[in-house]
Chains A and B, each alone.
Chain A
Amino acid sequence: MDIDQGTSPATTPPDSDAQRKRKVHGMLKLYYGLNDEGKGSDQAESLDPCDINGPHFDPEVYLNKLRKECSLGELMDQESCMVKQIRSLDSDMQTLVYENYNKFISATDTIRKMKNDFKKMEDEMDCLSANMSAITEFSAKISGTLQDQHTQITKLSGVHTLLRKLQFLFELPARLNKCLELQAYAQAVSSHRRARCVLQQYSHMPSFRGIQDDCNAIMEQLAQQLRQKFRDGGSNAKDLSECVELLLQLDEPAEELCDKFLSHAQSRLESDLQGLEAELRDPVSPSKPATTETSAALKKGASSAAGSPTDASMHSGNPFLSGASKTDILEFIDRGCNEFVSNLCLVIASYQELFINRPQEGELASKNIPEMARGKLHAFVDALAVRYFSLVERRIQEEKGVGDNSLLVRALDRFHRRLQAVTKLLPGSSVPSQGTEIVVQAARERIKQYLSALQSFYLDSLTDVRQALAAPRLSMGGGTGGGGLLGGGTSGKDAPPNLPELLASFSASILNQIKSVLASVHLFTAKDITFSNKPYFKGEFCSQGVRESLVVSFIKFICQSSRQFCESTGDRGGSTPPALLLLLSRLCLDYETSTISYILTLTDEQFLVQHHSPVTAVTALCAEAREAAQKLLNHYVKVQGLIISQMLRKSVETRDWVNTIEPRNVRAVMKRVVEDTTSIDVQVGLLYEEGVRKAHSSDSSKRTFSVYSSSRQQVRYAPSYTPSAPMDTNLLSNIHKLFSERIDIFSPVEFNKVSVLTGIIKISLKTFLECVRLRTFGRYGLQQIQVDCHYLQMYLWRFVSDENLVHFLLDEIVGSAAHRCLDPAPMEQSVIEVICERG
């Protein structure tokens, strides 16, 4: 042990008390065989027989070893060290023994003391148990004595309760009566409910029967009163609800109650409806005419004050404004909403409160009242709504005037908005969708009305234009018309009225009308209108309704009505003034070039049309307009041509050309032809561009003279033709024909002045030619034709695109006249010129 410490004094701290102590403990443990620790180190040392602390220590080996290895001194030291150690071990041992001995003695003392105490306790416990048994005995004795009295008391208290109940029963009729008097129905019903079962149970006993009967009678009376109250219905909703609740508790059949409630409500609502109907029937509601009028007046004042100036002007100036003698639709709808719809909502709300939304308890729950009640309510609401809707529809249908659409839209909006309340109250009802349907229908109807209004406006404007054209031109300002070379002669008669202005105002008024109609229709889709977000108003209304049915239809109508002017009056020249044809043609052409696309763009922009279904393309409409314009212009040419033709034909047919006198003048009819042509030229020039002519030199009139006189010469030589060569008469004109294109007389014209005039002159001269060929001429007849033709050629060439055309036709006329002449002796060219110059 300490040998180790001794051998390595440097490594081990010399005085560590705790360590030493533990070592001592370890020794002791070892000693007592508790070697559960430090096994590793022990085993390492265990095999060394020289380890003085190891278990395998062999003193002999150890001694031998010491003796062999150590010197005497060392042995001496070793021995003294050993003695010292033995001594300390001895003293330790003694201390230990002593200590343990002391402990053992004190333990023995304690045990002895305990033995004495337990003995004493045992005695006391015995005493306690004896006492307890004595107490038990006493208690049992007491209980036995008190038993009888206790049962008696219990019985007495039971009797007391019963008696009180009986008293309640006996007093019940009186109490109920009192409640009835005080109208404390709720108390009465609850009292009765409490007693009811008992009475029912003991009804076989006469006395109870009497009470029951009394009670029933009273309750009957009460129920009667409740019903009365319910029927009167004047009381507020709370009372009513209480009333219904009580009645339900009184086993009143819920179905009957519902029916009663509804029928009662129906009578009220019906009176509302009748009020509406009466209003519908009479122009002014008889019940409150004064208020109606004043409110109408107020409204009118407000609208005209607030509305834009155009609005106001529409009010005053629009020809389609209905006579607003009756209440306007807004007022009507207002009344409908305020009276009928709000009452209906009230009824629905209170009904739901009463029958549907009530928490159901007990037996009532089993009857499934809400289901039944809801069914009834739906049927009731539907029936009334149908009547209401029919009234509204009738009223809307009466709304024919298209003047102020905002009123209608506002009315519809209000109508629609108020129905939303019903939706909220009564989800799943078909009423709101029907209402929407009505609104949609009204919108459709409105579009139709606007279309017809536009159409009639167009026709009216057309009539105005017609009148303006027919009116004497006294009001003609400045010298816009009547220009041209023969202005003095024409201005009084056929000078065009201010055509461009007329056209401009006509077209502007139509455009304005379209715009205002669009604006009116646009109200239907305004953001603050409740129904504007319905799918119909977002899609179909814009594309199919406004764009197609309204705008496109109107444009088509214009084209069609224009075309009708060509067809219906086509035969006899008709009653349509030619100027109107010209004006309409220009209008259609303007539509083709700009107006149509403008209108459609405007529409598309305003209505944000999203085309789900195919719509008429702008190009198709333009083509239609162009076609109409072309037809009208062709017709104009035809009509004007015919008017001139007619003059020429009459002048040729009615004259005796064989026996006529030598020409001294140009015939008046030719002057008239030139005058008319000039005025037509002016007229067309007001609306159409000049157009292109075939280029001709500045001395064109001279040149034409030469061409003309060459044909004259041919005529002059006519008598010398030999029979052998009769074909030569026609040679020149035949050659001409060979090289010139065939002339289509009634051919389509282009949209310019020259083309129009060319068409008219072609028709006139061709007629002249054909008429001349049917007549026979004398010498002077031929000469007269010569003079006339020369006169015509002097003036007409300037109007046409290709002056050769005029020359050719005039040559043909003179040539034909020469052929048809009995004595073809043509006049000298110079003489002709002199006569023509003289006029």
Chain B
Amino acid sequence: MEDDAPVIYGLEFQARALTAQTAETDAIRFLVGTQSLKFDNQIHIIDFDDENNIINKSVLVHPAGEIWHISASPADKSVLTTCYNKTSESRVVTCAAVWRMPPEWESGSHESPDDSSNNPQTLELLCHLDNTAHGNMACVLWEPMGDGSRVISLADNHAVLWDLQESSTKAAVSSSATLEGKGQLKFTSGKWSPHHNCTQLATANDTAIRGWDLRSMSQIYCIENAHGQLVRDLDFNPNKQYYLASCGDDCKVKFWDVRNVNEPVKSLEEHSHWVWSVRYNHSHDQLLLTGSSDSRVILSNMVSISSEPFGHLVDDDDLSDGEDGHQEEKEPLQDSIIATYEEHEDSVYALEWSSADPWLFASLSYDGRLVINRVPRALKYRILL
């Protein structure tokens, strides 16, 4: 039952942006966007061969600028969005665009991986998400499980819903909401809820978390002072519609029931610096990943507030004979930290579960190190059996 060693991949540049290729459900594939002010930025396509524990990479050039955020279309494997910095006339503006990966990248990279750096293929621009009126883009969110035609962009204090038309070559604003209030309000991150028919959005600005109804583009709830300091990230529980997790600069991870915004359901304080990213496992929502600028990734098992608080529900009739003993020794798991991964040596800004293998995840630290890890087998079997 020995767990496989983590697989480490080093990028040449610093990087903050990581996403799983959401539409790809067969191969384990992650997309990483680099940050470099001096060289052409790249998108690294990391293919992980689970059986042989080998990484295959392909590189696509992203000439527009350094990538701050990346997300892949849930419908079309080859479509993705990035938020990037554009420097012009000593002004730095963050823009967002929809891109298509050239169809040949796959074959080309496999044959000669070394050549890819020399002669990399370039992303094909589909359309810009025009943000001249909105300000700097913080992130772009695809409609979860949608047909890849709707995205939301968060820019400064605007949340804008876009319709992508004509095979994503044209983006039209369908509606927008503006955060009003004192001072310069800025969205730091957001998440499109997969529940309620994808009509809800949660955003973070400063220390508050806000929920929005996309049909009316109005605020539906607000968790003021969700964290003592900046909220860095949030994620919806994929199986429990009112539950979401958030993390922030107070080193805490908090779990909320949005029906009661006064008190968190639970609060964890395991990291010793800001927590930059939090992700629920897509299928087993007791598994939670957090990445922090203390260079650690922590995998926690939050059984008590998961959709399976008493473990996997098994029909007793099916297991009536012969498996009683097995049944008994399977006590309900306690909320606990499963593992702390210390392979990174710089702040971990992004991490992501694989869309193909629910037991596998990648984390990315600022120095460009991508680490692919698995859930420990003991726990995996415990959850499954």
Instruction: State the Cβ distance, B343 to closest chain A Cβ, in Å.
Output: 12
Which of these binds chain A: B152-160, B225-233, B299-307, B320-328?
A: B225-233
Contact A570-B228, Cβ < 8 Å, known A746-B251, A773-B366: yes
- Residue from the list B12, B13, B294 in contact with A744, Cβ < 8 A: B294
**A 764-778 contacts with B by CB, 8 A:** 766, 770, 773, 776, 778
Give the dominant DSSP class at A's interface: loop
Answer yes or no: A647 CB below 8 A from chain B CBs.
Answer: no
Q: List 12 A-B contacts (CB under 8 A).
A: A571-B227, A642-B229, A658-B87, A726-B39, A737-B346, A746-B272, A746-B273, A770-B293, A773-B366, A776-B92, A821-B37, A822-B87
Question: Given A570-B228, A726-B39, A822-B37, 9 more contacts at CB 8 Å?
Answer: A571-B228, A658-B92, A726-B36, A746-B272, A770-B293, A773-B347, A776-B85, A778-B90, A822-B87
CB distance from A660 to the nearest CB of B (A): 10
Interface string of B218-247 (1 = CB under 8 A from A): 000000010111000000000000000000
Cα of A770 to Cα of B274 in the assembled complex, Å: 9
Q: Determine whether A463 belongs to the interface, using a CB cutoff of 8 Å to chain B.
A: no
Taking CB atoms, residues of chain B closer than 8 Å to A745 are 272-273, 294
Q: Mark A655-668, 1 if CB is under 8 A from B, else 0.
A: 00011000000000
How far is the CB of A3 from the nearest CB of chain B, in Å? 141
Chain B residues within 8 Å of A571, by CB: 225, 227-228, 250
A658 contacts B293, C-beta separation under 8 Å: no
Given A572-B228, A745-B294, A776-B37, also A766-B367 (CB < 8 A) = no
**Beta-carbon contacts under 8 Å, B46-104 to A:** 85, 87, 90-92
Query: Quick check: B272 and A747 within 8 Å, CB to CB?
Result: yes
Which of A658, A737, A776, A778 makes the CB contact (< 8 A) with B345?
Answer: A737
Per the bound structure, the CA–CA distance linking A163 and B36 in Å amounts to 152
- Nearest-neighbour CB distance to chain A for B185, whole angstroms, equals 13
Q: Per-residue CB proximity of A769-804 to B under 8 Å, as 1/0?
A: 010010010100000000000000000000000000
Q: How far is the CA of A117 from the CA of B229 in the complex (A)?
A: 164
Q: In the assembly, what is the distance between CA of A498 and CA of B88, in Å?
A: 56
Q: Of the candidates A642, A746, A770, which one forms a contact with B347 in the assembled complex, judged by CB atoms under 8 Å apart?
A: A770
Nearest chain B CB to A502's CB is how many angstroms away? Answer: 28
Given A571-B250, A776-B37: A734 touches B345 (CB 8 Å cut-off): yes
Is the CB–CB distance between A820 and B228 below 8 Å? no
A360 at the interface (CB under 8 A from B): no
Chain B residue with Cβ nearest A812 = B346
Is the pair B367, A734 in contact by a Cβ cutoff of 8 Å?
yes
In whole angstroms, what is the CA distance A766 to B251 when docked?
13
Q: How far is the CB of A623 from chain B (nearest CB, A)?
A: 21
Counting from the closest, the 3 A-B pairs by CB-CB distance are A571-B228, A744-B272, A726-B12
Question: Which residues of chain A (802-839) have a CB below 8 Å from chain B?
Answer: 819-822
Q: Does A307 lie at the interface of the complex (its beta carbon under 8 Å from any beta carbon of B)?
A: no
Q: In chain A between 700 and 730, which residues have their CB closer than 8 angstroms to a CB of chain B?
A: 723, 726-727, 730
Complex contact B12–A727 (CB within 8 A): yes
When chains A and B are docked, how far (Å) is the Cα of A778 from the Cα of B37?
11
Instruction: Tell me whether A22 is interfacial, beta carbon within 8 Å.
Output: no
- Chain B residues lying within 8 Å of A642, measured Cβ to Cβ, are 229
Instruction: State in angstroms the CA–CA spacing of A776 and B207 once bound together.
Output: 24
Question: In the complex the two chains form, is B10's CB within 8 Å of A727's CB?
Answer: yes
Known contacts A727-B12, A746-B273: A658-B294 contact under CB 8 Å: no
The verdict on B342 contacting chain A, using a C-beta distance below 8 Å, is: yes
Residue of A nearest to B34 (CB): A726
Residues 1 to 35 of chain B near chain A (Cβ within 8 Å): 10, 12-14
Min CB distance A440 to B, Å, is: 43
B354: A residues at CB distance < 8 A: none
CB proximity of B248 to chain A, nearest CB, Å: 10
Instruction: Compute how far the CA of A766 lies from the CA of B37 in the bound complex, rounded to whole angstroms.
Output: 23
Whether a CB of chain A sits under 8 angstroms from the CB of B295 is: yes
- Is residue A742 within 8 Å, beta carbon to beta carbon, of the partner chain? yes
| Nearest CB in chain B: distance from A802 CB, A | 17
Name B238-289 residues within 8 Å CB distance of A: 250-251, 272-274
> Chain B 342-375 against A: per-residue CB contact (8 Å), 1 yes, 0 no?
1001110000000000000000001100000000
Complex contacts, A770 vs chain B, CB 8 Å? 274, 293, 347
CA A730 – CA B207 in complex, angstroms?
A: 33
CA distance A726 to B39 in the complex (A): 10
Q: Is A572 a contact of B225 with CB atoms below 8 Å?
A: yes
B12 CB contacts on chain A under 8 angstroms: 726-727
Residue of B nearest to A770 (CB): B293
Give the chain A neighbours of B229 by CB distance below 8 A: 642
Collect the chain A residues with CB atoms within 8 Å of residue B36's CB. 726
Shortest beta-carbon distance, B240 to chain A, in Å?
25
Tell me the A224-240 residues at the B interface (CB within 8 Å). Answer: none
Chain B's closest residue to A723 (CB) is B39
B residues in contact with A570, CB < 8 Å: 228
Write the nearest CB–CB distance from A92 to chain B, whole angstroms: 145
Nearest-neighbour CB distance to chain B for A192, whole angstroms, equals: 92
Q: Are B37's CB and A819's CB within 8 A? A: yes
**A766/B10 contact (C-beta < 8 A), A734-B345, A820-B37 known:** no
Q: Give the distance in Å from the alpha carbon of A522 to the alpha carbon of B37 in the complex.
A: 77
B37 contacts across to A, CB distance below 8 A: 776, 819-822
Could you say which residues of chain B place their CB within 8 Å of the CB of A726? 12-13, 36, 39
Residue of B nearest to A776 (CB): B92
Complex contact A742–B342 (CB within 8 A): yes
Q: Which residues of A contact B90 (CB under 8 A)?
A: 658-659, 778
Say yes or no: A742 contacts B347, CB within 8 Å: no
Instruction: List, in ascending order, chain A residues with CB within 8 A of B346's CB.
Output: 737
B308-350 interface bits toward A, Cβ cutoff 8 Å, 1 = contact, 0 = none: 0000000000000000000000000000000000100111000
Q: How far is the CA of A821 from the CA of B37 in the complex (A)?
A: 7
CB distance from B294 to the nearest CB of A (A): 6
Complex: A747 Cα to B270 Cα, angstroms: 11
B182 CB → nearest A CB, Å: 15
* CB of A657 to closest CB in B, whole Å: 9
B83 CB → nearest A CB, Å: 13
Contact with B along A69-93 (1 / 0, CB 8 A): 0000000000000000000000000
B332 CB to closest chain A CB, in angstroms?
28
| Residue among A571, A659, A737 with the highest chain B CB neighbour number at 10 A | A571
A766 near B273 with CB under 8 A, answer yes
Smallest beta-carbon distance A718→chain B, Å: 9
Q: How far is the CA of A658 from the CA of B91 in the complex (A)?
A: 7
User: Please, which residue of chain A has its CB at the minimum distance from the CB of B251?
Assistant: A746
CA distance A600 to B51 in the complex (A): 66
Report whether A730 and B273 are in contact in the complex, using a CB–CB cutoff of 8 Å: no
Give bound CA distance, A59 to B204, whole Å.
180
Question: Within 8 Å CB of A723, what residues of B?
Answer: 39
List the B residue with the shortest CB-CB distance to A745. B273
Contact of B87 among A737, A744, A766, A776 (CB under 8 A): A776
Q: Report A769 CB to chain B, min CB distance, Å.
A: 8
A572 to B346, CA, bound (A): 27
Residue of B whose beta carbon sits closest to that of A775: B92
A41 CB to nearest chain B CB (Å): 127
Q: Which residue from chain B places its CB closest to the CB of A736 in the assembled complex?
A: B345
Q: Closest A-chain residue to B296, C-beta based?
A: A742
Contact indicator A730/B367 (Cβ below 8 Å): yes
In Å, the complex CA distance between A319 and B47 comes to 75
Min Cβ gap A185→B in Å is 87
Residues in A whose Cβ lies below 8 Å from that of B85: 776
Contacts of A730 in B (CB 8 A): 367
A88-133 residues with Cβ-Cβ distance < 8 A to B are none
Chain B residues, Cβ within 8 Å of A734: 345, 367
User: How many Å lie between the Cα of A812 and that of B367 in the bound state?
Assistant: 12
Across-interface contacts of B251 in A (CB, < 8 A): 746
In angstroms, Cα B342 to Cα A642, docked, is 26
With a cutoff of 8 Å between Cβ atoms, the chain B residues found around residue A658 in the complex are 87, 90-92
Please name all residues of chain A whose beta carbon is closer than 8 Å to the beta carbon of B293 when the two chains form the complex.
766, 770
Q: In chain B, what residue has the closest Cβ to A822?
A: B37
Q: Which residue of A lies closest to B12 (CB)?
A: A726
Cα distance A822–B37 in the bound complex, in angstroms: 6
Interface residues of A in 578-619 (CB under 8 A from B): none
